[in-house]
Amino acid sequence: MDTEELVESIIRALMFLAGIIGNNWLAISSIPSKRSNICTNDVLFINLAVSNLITNYLVDLPDTIADFAGRWFLGKAFCGVFRFCADLSETSSIFTTFFISAFWHQKLVGSLKRGGAPVKMDNVGLVLGLLAGSWATALAFSVPHFFFVSVEASNESEEDCVDVFPDTVSRQTYDVFYLTLANALPLAGMLFTSGQIVATLLKNQQRIRCRNTQLGKDLEGSVGTVSGPSAASPSPCVPASGSCPDAGNPSVAPPKAPTGKPYASSQVRAAKSVVAVASVFLVCWLTHLLLRITNSIHTSSLVVEVASYIAASYTCIIPYIFLHGVKKLTCTCKR
């Protein structure tokens, strides 16, 4: 093993350890103390952690060992398990992250407009049904990898575990359906929901600042000496009518805290988590999607290797973002 291969193997091993620690931590911290306290957040986080741990234990670990060994030595049987688990966990992780973004969209966009009313995805049974459907979809796309695999020699000394479809047409057909249904559509949904969340939170922050400014002026007017209501000039962010944006809209609920400080801080934290998760998700999986499309046109072992590193980087980064920000969000449970 030369120096370059050794460095790559060490990086892969560090990513594996980070993923193991982060995803186990996320799963354990998401387990409620009582069964009656199970929330949508908990179910989604546990499912995401399980999906990523399949990648960590059954994909990253064997791949790391094979890197240090310099060849695939686990045989054709485990090669099928390896390729099967790779797509199974990857597809489940993508769908779960999309469901998390959809849940945030309902909680932080739809619920705010209705004054914090429960949303559809607060129903744990509904979420479990969605997750069952995502696992079924992942299983359907992963089964072919269990059968169409082979251990091929890349050169005189190295052997790689690769997919070998019966013909080019079947491979391209599979890639089109898989990349469209299990990659492109969830990515588009994630982009839309994340954009809506960020836009809504920014508008809500502006609304809070406007109302706090107006409240401060009202307090000053009540304790100070003013000549009349017309003497006070309106706030820069408040229209001449003296109301903030959406103040007269009954569909927009006012913030629960009069000062807006606790409410604003929690929403800022949520917005940062949404932006971080969306950014990592879109960068990782959009790049992964483009590499998979490239590989479907022209097969390349280098492209496959880079795509596997990108998938591994997602599983080792995303649990820490969730642990830092999203676990601080509150949720309303309904069964």
Residues of the chain with pLDDT under 70: 1-2, 4, 35-36, 110-117, 153-158, 218, 220-275, 288, 295-305, 326-335
CA atoms within 13 A on the CB side of 314: 28
142: nearest Cα among 78, 210, 88, 62: 88
Q: What is the pLDDT of residues 219-268, one digit of tens each?
A: 766 655 444 444 444 444 444 344 444 444 444 444 444 444 444 455 55
| Per-residue CA distances from 176 to 90, 172, 179 (Å) | 16, 6, 5
Q: For residue 242, what pLDDT is reported? A: 41
Quick one: CATH architecture of 3-218+244-328? Up-down Bundle (1.20)
Largest CA distance in the chain: 93
The token pair at 268 is 């800022």
Q: For residue 255, what pLDDT is reported? A: 42
72: nearest Cα among 289, 305, 288, 312: 305
Q: For residue 245, what pLDDT is reported? A: 45
Q: For residue 271, what pLDDT is reported? A: 56
Q: What is the pLDDT of residues 195-217, one digit of tens each?
A: 887 787 777 777 777 877 777 77
Q: Report residue 65 CA to chain centroid gap.
A: 28
| Per-residue CA distances from 205 to 180, 193, 212, 261 (Å) | 36, 18, 11, 10
Q: For residue 157, what pLDDT is reported? A: 56
Collect all residues with Cβ–Cβ distance below 8 Å to 49 and sequence separation of at least 6: 23, 24, 26, 27, 30, 319
Q: Report residue 99 CA to chain centroid gap.
A: 8
Q: For residue 138, what pLDDT is reported? A: 93
- Cα separation, 127 vs 334, whole angstroms: 11
**CB-based contact 174:83 (threshold 8 Å):** no
Q: For residue 258, what pLDDT is reported? A: 40
Domain boundaries, given as residue ranges, for the chain: 3-218+244-328
